Structure 1
C-alpha cells in the first residue's frame, strides 16, 4: 500500500512539473519576443517634443510674430531639504509673491518627488544671472530654456494677429500635442485662424526610465518640424501710421485695401492691447481692466463692430435707382429741408434745405431729401439687392474670426424676424443709412473698392493660401464683374469726386492737395439717439459737443485714391466722434496719402518731388458744409 501511494504521489508531482516546464517553455521561448517588447516599453519612454511655432511677417518680410528664448525656473522636491525655505530665499532674489509660493507648494505635493515643477516663467537675463550666482543657496532649483511667442509690434497688430495662450480643458481634442505642459495655441486673430498651419509637427524623444518613472538617460531625439511661415498682406509702415492717426480718438477703426487684388494693407482698431500680456500669462487685474473698459479694447471694431453707415450708404441707393431706370443722373428733386409722409416729417440735415438738386449735387452736398424722394420710387428690396451686390449685409470672407455680417433689411426680413409689416417711413430712414441698416468698417471699405473697380473684390489678409497641409502661392485672383453699368459706376465715382474736390463739397476740407494723389469719397454721420420734434422746435438740435460721449453721432468717411487711376480704398469709423467730414475725413485723407507716398517711395519716386506736395500731419479739415 505504501508503494502504491508513493507512485501516485510521484505521478502527480510529475504532471505538475511537466505543466510548469511547458508553461515556462511557452513564456520564455514561444512568447519571448512579446515579453521582451513589453519589458523594453516599460524601460523606454517615448515623449513628444513641441515644435517651434511658425513665424508671421508683413508683406515685405518684417517680423510680426516670432519665437523668443524663454527662461523659466523649476524646483525638484527630492533635491531640496525644505521646499518652502528654498522658495523664500528665491523670493528675496527675484520677486515671487505669496500666491506663487503657495501655488508651487501645492503643485509639488501633488507630484512625484523627482518631477520638476515650474516656479516662474519669462525670466529676464538679469534674473537668470542673479539666480545662477546664488545657486549654492538654492538647492533643487533648475533654470531651463524654452520658447515663447513674442509680438515685436505689441499693440500695433493685436487685433489682427491675435495672441496665443495655454490650452483650456474644453479645447482638448485628443491631439497629444495639446496635452504637453506649457503648450499654447492661437486664441484670436490670425493666430487662431491659421493655428493648425502654424503649429508644426511634433518631435520625439526616447528616454530610459526606471520602474518609478525617473529619467535615467536620453537614448534618441528627433526634433519636430516648425510651423509654416504666414506672410500677411499688411504694410507695417502703413499699419503703424493708421494706429497713430486713430490714437487721438476714444474708439475708432480704419481699413485700407488694394481695390484690385483685395489685399488689406492696414486694419486698425483703437483702443488696443498688448498681446504679449496673454503669452506671459495675463493677471486678473489686467484682464478685468480690459473687459470692463467702456471703449472695448479687446474688440476688433474693423471686423465685428457694426454701425449705421449714415450718408456713406447713399451711393448704394443712387446706384440702385440708376440701375432700375427709375431715376436719371440729371433728374432733380426740390429740397426745402424736410419731406412729409403721412403725419410724419423727415428732416434733411440742412435746416433750410438745398433747393433743386440732381444726383451729383445730392452726393456732393449729402442732401437727405433727395434720397427720401428716390427711395419711395425704388423700394427697400431693390436697395437691399444693390447693397448686397456691393458687399454689405454679408460676410466678406476675411480670414479673421468672429466677423459680423451687418444687416440690410428687406420686407421679408422684418416680417420673419419681427412679425411686422414694412412701413414706408422705414424705407426713407434706410435710404440715408439709418434705421435697421448696419455695416462694419471692413464692409464699407469693400463697398468703396467695388465702386472704384467695378468688380466683386473680396478682402484677404495673407499673400498665400495657408492650410494645415502647407502653404501654396495665391494666384492672381480675377474677381467677377459687378454686373452693374460701367456708365452708372462712373457717374457715382464722379459724384464722389465732387464731394472732396469741388468747392462746397462736404469733404472738400479733407481733400488731398497733392496733384495726382487726389481722393474721391463720401462723408457720413450716423445718429445714435432720437431727435424729438420738441427739441427741434425749442432748444434746437443739441450739438455733439454738448452731449455726453455715448450720445454723440458716429463719424464715418469712405474714399478711394487716386481719382484718375484708383488703387486704394479706405474706410474710417470714429465712434461718437461727431461730424464725418470733420473728424473721420482727415484720417482717411492722411491714410490714402500715406499709402500713395509709400508706394512712390518704394518705386524710387520721392513724394517731395511731386508738385504741390504737402507734409503729412494729423489735422482736422475745415469744411464749407456738414452733413447729417
Structure 2
C-alpha cells in the first residue's frame, strides 16, 4: 500500500527523533568516559603512579649505630666494629632453598646458623631481611657481591657489631647485648619496629640493658628499586636514623682493671666510691666472664663452664650479692646507741668472753674476753659483748633506723642489673615475713651483723662514705650522656642527719682499727701519714657452731670445705684526715677478714696514687711481696699497662 506524503513525513520525524536520542546517549556516554579517563589520568595520576612504583620500590629500615660507652677519662669500654654479613629477604628471593643452595657454593654456611635463619624467616614478615651468615671475610663478601645477579633477595652488608675492649673487667658493669628474644618482646607493649628485625641486638644485662632505649637510637629508612626478581637495582632515597646516645660512666678503667686482677680467682666483690660525691670509681665482681662471647653467640660448652662454676662468675656480687655484714655493722649499732644517748665515749661494758641472754650464751670471738671496753676499744678490737649490751639497751628499731640512714637496707638506683635491697630487720618485718614474734636473741645477733641482717658490697661502700664525709651521698654510676653531666656535685649533697661529734668518735675508732697495735687490721696498715686509712674488719659465719664444737674447740676455717668457711669483709676510707675514697671488699668463704683486708688496702693505695703506690707506703715486711705482686699482675694483665711507679 502506498504511503501518503503525510505518513512518510511523520515516519521520518519519528526516526530523526530516535536517532537524535540515541546519538545524544552515545555522546553523553563518551563524555562521561572521557571525564572518567581525565579523572584517572590527570587528577589521580600521582596516586596511581605511587601505587605502581610501590610494586618496584621497597622501603627498608636502617639500624642505627649503637651509642658507645666510655669510662670517666674517655677510655672506650663498649664500642662498635664493622662486621660483614649476608642477609636474605624472603619475598624477594622466591625459592629460598634454591637461593641458599647457590649461596652455599660461594661461602661456607654454618648449619646451626642456617637452621636458625630458616626458622626466623618462617616466623618473620616476608619483607624483613634475615641474616644467614655473619662475621664473614672480605673475600667471601666479594664473591657474593660479584654473583649478585644469580642470588635474588640476597644482600652483602657491612653492619656494626658490639665489642668490649676490656672484656672481663667490665662484664658485670656494662653487661652485654644479644639478639631480641620472644621473652624480650613480651615485656614491651608497643615494640619499636627495629626490634622485629631478626637478630637485632639489644642490651641483655648491666648498663646495656638498663639504658637500652638511649643506647639504641632511632632507625633510618632507605628506598631501593628492585627488578622483577627482587634484586636491588639502585638506592633511590636514604634518611639516616639517629645514632644512640654515648654514655660515660664514673668508673676508672685503670682502677677497675687493677681490682679485677687483684681479686683474681676469689669469689669476691669490691666497690670504690668518692666520699664527697658518691661517684663509683670501681665496682667489681669475681670471678668474671668475657661478654664478647655472648655477643657472638656463646657455645653450650662455654656457657656450661660458667653456670657450673661454684664461684658463680655470672653473678654481679657487688650489687646483687647480699651477705651478713659481720662486725662492719658495729658502726651502725654504735651510732644508734650514741644518738639515743645510751652510751658516750666513757661508757664501758665488761667482756668475759660471753653474755648470757634468756638462758643462752652469746659468745665473743675472743674466748677469754676483752675485759672492760669503751666504744673506741670495742670497735678497735671488735669486742662482740660490748655491742650485745648496746643493742639490748637501744633496741632493734633504732638500730635499723640508723642502718637505713647510713644506706643499708635501701635499694640504690644505679643502672646495673639485679640491684639488691638487702635486709635490715624490724619486729614488724619478722611478724609479716616469718609469722613469728621478735625475740631478744634476734637483737643480739643483729648487733654483730648476723641473724637476719643482709647487706651488699655497694651498700657497705655507701655506709662507709657517709661515715667518712658526714654527707648523705648516693652512689652515682652515670657520669654523662652525650657529654651532658649527670652527676650531683659535692656541694649539693645534703648533710647526714647524725651528730657530727658522734661521727667523729666512730671515725677515730675506725682509725684505731688500722693504726693501733691492738687493732684488728694493724698488720695491714698504711704507714704513710698523708694516706693512712680508717677501717673495720668483719667476719660473717655461714654455719652454726654447736655448743659441743665450742667445748671441743671450734674447727678452723682452713679445715672446713670452702663453702662452709666464713665470709671475709673489710670497709675503709682514706685519707683519714681528708677522706676522698671509701672502699668495701667482701670475699666469699675467705675464712674471715684476713682474706679481705689486704685486698682493700691494696685497692685503697692504688686508687689514691692513681697507679702503683710507692713501696714505702707499706710496712717494710710487706714490700718485697707487694713488689712481686705488682710485677705479676701487670705481666698477667696487659690491660693494666706499664707501671708508672718505680718508687722506693
The bucket for the TM-score relative to the shorter chain is: 0.7 to 0.9
Query: Equivalent of 1:405, from 421, 428, 431?
Result: 421
Query: Equivalent of 1:541, from 550, 554, 557?
Result: 554
Farther-moved stretch of structure 1 (415-424 vs 438-447): 415-424
Structure-2 residue corresponding to 1:414: 430
Query: Equivalent of 1:310, from 326, 330, 351?
Result: 326
Post-superposition Cα deviations, 1:117-164, rounded to whole Å, max 9, x if no partner, equal 5333223xxx43477589999975865321101100011100001111
Farther-moved stretch of structure 1 (135-144 vs 448-457): 135-144
Give the Cα–Cα distance (whole angstroms) in 2 for the partners of residues 142 and 462 of structure 1: 39
Quick check: 2:349–2:373 contact (8 Å CA) kept in 1? yes
Give the Cα–Cα distance (whole angstroms) in 2 for the partners of residues 36 and 236 of structure 1: 58
Structure-1 residue corresponding to 2:131: 118
Quick check: 1:395–1:403 contact (8 Å CA) kept in 2? yes
**Closer/same/farther in 2, CA of residues 101 and 215 from structure 1, 3 Å limit:** closer
Are 1:506 and 2:530 counterparts? Answer: no
Gaps of 5+ in 2: 1-10, 630-648
Give the Cα–Cα distance (whole angstroms) in 1 for the partners of residues 128 and 442 of structure 2: 68
Structure-2 residue corresponding to 1:623: none
Q: Matches of residues 184-583 of structure 1 in structure 2 within 5 Å?
A: 184-209=201-226, 214-249=231-266, 251-464=267-480, 466=481, 471-472=484-485, 474=487, 476-477=489-490, 478-537=492-551, 539-580=552-593, 582-583=594-595
Give the Cα–Cα distance (whole angstroms) in 2 for the partners of residues 394 and 521 of structure 1: 22
Give the Cα–Cα distance (whole angstroms) in 1 for the partners of residues 503 and 628 of structure 2: 31
Give the Cα–Cα distance (whole angstroms) in 1 for the partners of residues 31 and 167 of structure 2: 77
Query: Equivalent of 1:593, from 582, 595, 605?
Result: 605
Structure-2 residue corresponding to 1:128: 138
Post-superposition Cα deviations, 1:542-593, rounded to whole Å, max 9, x if no partner, equal 111121111111111101111121111000011111111x100000000001
**Closer/same/farther in 2, CA of residues 77 and 36 from structure 1, 3 Å limit:** closer
Post-superposition Cα deviations, 1:172-226, rounded to whole Å, max 9, x if no partner, equal 4331222234422111111122222222233221222357755331112233332
Shift of residue 240, structure 1, vs aligned partner: 0.8
Quick check: 1:77–1:83 contact (8 Å CA) kept in 2? no
Farther-moved stretch of structure 1 (129-138 vs 473-482): 129-138
Number of residue pairs matched by the alignment: 602
Quick check: 1:78–1:114 contact (8 Å CA) kept in 2? no
Structure-1 residue corresponding to 2:632: none
Give the Cα–Cα distance (whole angstroms) in 1 for the partners of residues 618 and 539 of structure 2: 33
Give the RMSD, CA atoms, in angstroms: 3.3
Q: Matches of residues 605-624 of structure 1 in structure 2 within 5 Å?
A: 607=614, 614=623, 616=626
Are 1:147 and 2:160 counterparts? Answer: yes
Farther-moved stretch of structure 1 (346-355 vs 138-147): 138-147
3-state DSSP of counterpart to 1:145? strand
Gaps of 5+ in 1: 620-628
3-state DSSP of counterpart to 1:147? strand
Shift of residue 233, structure 1, vs aligned partner: 0.9
Give the Cα–Cα distance (whole angstroms) in 2 for the partners of residues 611 and 171 of structure 1: 51
3-state DSSP of counterpart to 1:178? helix
Are 1:179 and 2:179 counterparts? Answer: no
**Closer/same/farther in 2, CA of residues 50 and 532 from structure 1, 3 Å limit:** same
**Closer/same/farther in 2, CA of residues 15 and 143 from structure 1, 3 Å limit:** closer
TM-score for both structures, normalised by structure 2? 0.85
